Amino acid sequence: MIDLTPYLWSQILAFIGTILYIIGPQFKKRSKIMIINVLSSILYALHYMLLESYTGAAMDGIGALRYGVSLLTLNPLLIYVFLGLNTVAVIFTFQGWLLSGAAFLAGSFAAIGTFKSKDSSMRIFLIFSSVFWLIHGIILGSIVAALTSAFFIVSGIIGYFRHEIKAKK
Q: pTM for this one?
A: 0.91
Per-residue pLDDT band at 1 (split at 50, 70, 90): low
Contact of 102 with 135, CB cutoff 8 Å: yes
Is the model's pLDDT at 42 over the cut of 90? yes
Helix axes 97-114, 119-140, angle to 10 degrees: 160
Of the candidates 34, 39, 126, the one whose C-alpha atom is nearest the C-alpha of residue 47 is: 39
pLDDT exceeds 80 at position 159: yes
Spatial separation of the C-alpha atoms in residues 92 and 76, rounded to whole Å: 26
